[in-house]
Amino acid sequence: MSGIEVASLVIGVLPILVEAVKSYTTIYQGFQTFRHYSKEVRTFSVQLKTQKGIFSNEIRLLLRLVEDAKIVNEMIEDASDSRWASKQLNDRLCEILQHDFELYKDTIEETVRIVEQLKLEVEKYNVLLADKVQAVQTDTIRSTIKHLRGAVKITFDKSKHELWLAKLRDRNADLSALRNQHEAFRQQTTSVSETVVRHKVLPVHFDKIQEASQKLHEALCRSWCCDDAAHRGHYAKLCVAAEANAEVQLDLAISCQEPSDNERNPLSSEPPLWLYVQSMTDATVSTIYSLFDMMRKEADDTMETEDQLKLAHKTALAMLQYNDTPWLNERWRLGDLNYFRSKGAFDETAFNSLHLSSQIPAPQRPTPIAANMEGIQGPAKIISEKVQYGINNVTLFFLGVALLEIAYWKPIEDQMKPGDHNNQIYAARRIASSRPSSLGPAYQKIAEKCLQCNFGFGTKLESKRLQTAVYNDVVCGLENLLIDC
């Protein structure tokens, strides 16, 4: 039993995948070296490159079942990436492939065996090259090349190489057939709610980001200390674009505000002071805006349709990554997202600086004595939104509100009509059921699904099944709209 087979029994298919990727690269580079010495080798090198590309694409498509495109590309480009050894990632792949797992593993193992045979051929050429160069050191360069071409031509067994190439084609075809059949079965399988079973599992890094951001906030609240009595509170600003590879990287800024002589006049109060824990921008204090600030401009003058979809996609990702943490209130709003801008329109730099805020230390929450929906006079006795307004999940409801605000480029409050009775909930439902915005009916359907929490997997967002459904129907749905944009 080879080392590859032993590793596959212990860990799974990922070690075999990375071994195949490395071996393919090694032999292709080897044949590239000798392609100048023989027409047959040059032709074989081109055909091998094609099979290598097909195999890499199949591996990418396979890994996309359990990870997003960015992470998959990083893994393919770096065979030493620590995620190749992730048991959690391998278990997810095993779970989603089910009975096809062994078929994939066997097919990829056979590919590695074929590639290993070709690697032996490359080693023969390397030995041949070394011997010939040493033997003809006194010859001219032209004579040396002539000797090498003759030796390579004699060594190259065309029929044997064509057989190996045919085997690689067959294995690639097997992988493609397995993937197509697996995809067909998944599309035919429906849940009890008659919705198609999701094509992708929830990315592993979502849990990591949520846990790390929670611990970061706890550590800040526990350890933060400021001796300046003039500071009237501090706020942590967390960039929503987190990095999660082997470890989670979060970008953070701390703000405080000092009183001025004219602090009674809010229009003349001094801007906040900023302390950057990790600087992302050279923006000054006068360049901090909320998304509601940006909406004061006309949408056509500020953002293209593609940019609106990108913002909607990033907002949905932020909700999934930071829900149930102090960074995202249950009744969050799009205005809670702020960004840095020096001048001009909402550019890529501003987009990448989107962040959430939280007061540190966290203030003591007073016991509510009435329903506190904005613009709604609640009764003295607390009645949940689910009972009073039929909201199944408040966090997802306000994601739907945010998506509608992005689509129409106005806060819900600015879209009120008399029949809404100054009620955000009524207004959001009316807008979702009305004529679609310029972003189209598919986008409108995604927003409406969030308002209703109609994903077929309950209403508790802590449920991984519901999170996975939201990821597929909302995040991936918005990705598809971006592709078609």
Residue ranges of the domains in the chain? 3-188, 205-365+385-484
DSSP per position, 432-476: HTSS--TT-HHHHHHHHHHHHT-SSS-S-TT-HHHHHHHIIIIII
Residue 194's region, left for phi above 0, alpha for psi from -120 to 50, else beta, is left
- Nearest-angstrom CA–CA distance, 149 and 39: 9
Exposure class string for 235-265: b at 16+ Cβ within 10 A, else e: ebbbbbbbebeeebebbbbbbbbeeeeeeee
Dihedral sign, Cα of residue 467, residue 425, residue 304, residue 443: positive
- Nearest-angstrom CA–CA distance, 43 and 47: 6
Q: HSE, CB side, 13 Å, CA atoms: give it for residue 359.
A: 9
- Asked whether residue 273 carries a pLDDT value surpassing 50, the answer given is no
- Asked whether residue 468 carries a pLDDT value surpassing 90, the answer given is yes
**Angle between helix 101-135 and helix 39-63 axes, rounded to 10 deg:** 150
Residue 163's identity, in one-letter code, is L
The predicted pLDDT at position 222 comes to 67
> Mean pLDDT over residues 197-222, rounded?
75
**pLDDT band (50, 70, 90) for residue 282:** very low
C-beta of residue 31 within 8 angstroms of C-beta of residue 51: no
> Mean pLDDT over residues 62-66, rounded?
85
The predicted pLDDT at position 5 comes to 41
> Mean pLDDT over residues 70-86, rounded?
86
**Global pTM?**
0.53
The predicted pLDDT at position 267 comes to 38
> Mean pLDDT over residues 424-443, rounded?
90
Each residue of 228-256: pLDDT tens digit?
Answer: 555 556 667 777 777 666 666 666 666 66
Locus of tokens 């609240």: 221
**pLDDT band (50, 70, 90) for residue 378:** very low
- Asked whether residue 164 carries a pLDDT value surpassing 70, the answer given is yes
- Asked whether residue 283 carries a pLDDT value surpassing 80, the answer given is no
Counting every residue, how long is the chain?
485
CA distances 185 to 197, 199, 401, 457, Å, are 10, 11, 35, 21
Q: Please report, rounded to a whole number, the percentage of residues in the chain having pLDDT higher than 70.
A: 66
The predicted pLDDT at position 184 comes to 74
The predicted pLDDT at position 265 comes to 46
- Asked whether residue 183 carries a pLDDT value surpassing 90, the answer given is no
C-beta of residue 155 within 8 angstroms of C-beta of residue 131: no
Mean residue pLDDT of the chain comes to 75
Residue 370's region, left for phi above 0, alpha for psi from -120 to 50, else beta, is beta
The residue ranking higher by pLDDT, 132 or 122, is 122
Determine how many CB atoms are found less than 10 A away from the CB of residue 319: 22
User: Which pair of tokens denotes residue 302?
Assistant: 């500020």
**pLDDT band (50, 70, 90) for residue 268:** very low
User: Smallest Cα–Cα separation from 12: which of 95, 115, 113?
Assistant: 95
> Which CATH architecture describes the domain 205-365+385-484?
Orthogonal Bundle (1.10)
- Nearest-angstrom CA–CA distance, 26 and 446: 46
Locus of tokens 């939280």: 358
**pLDDT band (50, 70, 90) for residue 2:** very low
- Nearest-angstrom CA–CA distance, 180 and 183: 5
Q: Which of 71-85, 260-274, 411-425 has the lowest mean pLDDT?
A: 260-274
The predicted pLDDT at position 343 comes to 52
Most confident of 88-97, 179-188, 272-281: 88-97
> Mean pLDDT over residues 7-29, rounded?
74
- Asked whether residue 345 carries a pLDDT value surpassing 70, the answer given is no
- CA–chain centroid gap for 349, Å, is 19
User: Smallest Cα–Cα separation from 120: which of 23, 20, 1?
Assistant: 23
Instruction: Give Dmax over CA atoms of the chain in angstroms.
Output: 102
- Asked whether residue 312 carries a pLDDT value surpassing 50, the answer given is yes
The predicted pLDDT at position 313 comes to 94
- Asked whether residue 449 carries a pLDDT value surpassing 90, the answer given is yes
Determine how many CB atoms are found less than 10 A away from the CB of residue 193: 10
User: Smallest Cα–Cα separation from 99: which of 177, 20, 170, 178?
Assistant: 178
Which residues, in sequence order, are CB contacts of 368 under 8 Å at separation 6+?
A: 382
- Nearest-angstrom CA–CA distance, 32 and 47: 11
The predicted pLDDT at position 26 comes to 81
> Mean pLDDT over residues 112-116, rounded?
89
User: Smallest Cα–Cα separation from 103: which of 62, 72, 73, 61?
Assistant: 62
> Mean pLDDT over residues 69-94, rounded?
85
The predicted pLDDT at position 445 comes to 94
The predicted pLDDT at position 82 comes to 86
> Mean pLDDT over residues 214-233, rounded?
65
The residue ranking higher by pLDDT, 33 or 416, is 416
- Nearest-angstrom CA–CA distance, 267 and 443: 39
- Asked whether residue 371 carries a pLDDT value surpassing 60, the answer given is no
**pLDDT band (50, 70, 90) for residue 357:** confident
In DSSP terms, 340 is beta-bridged to 288
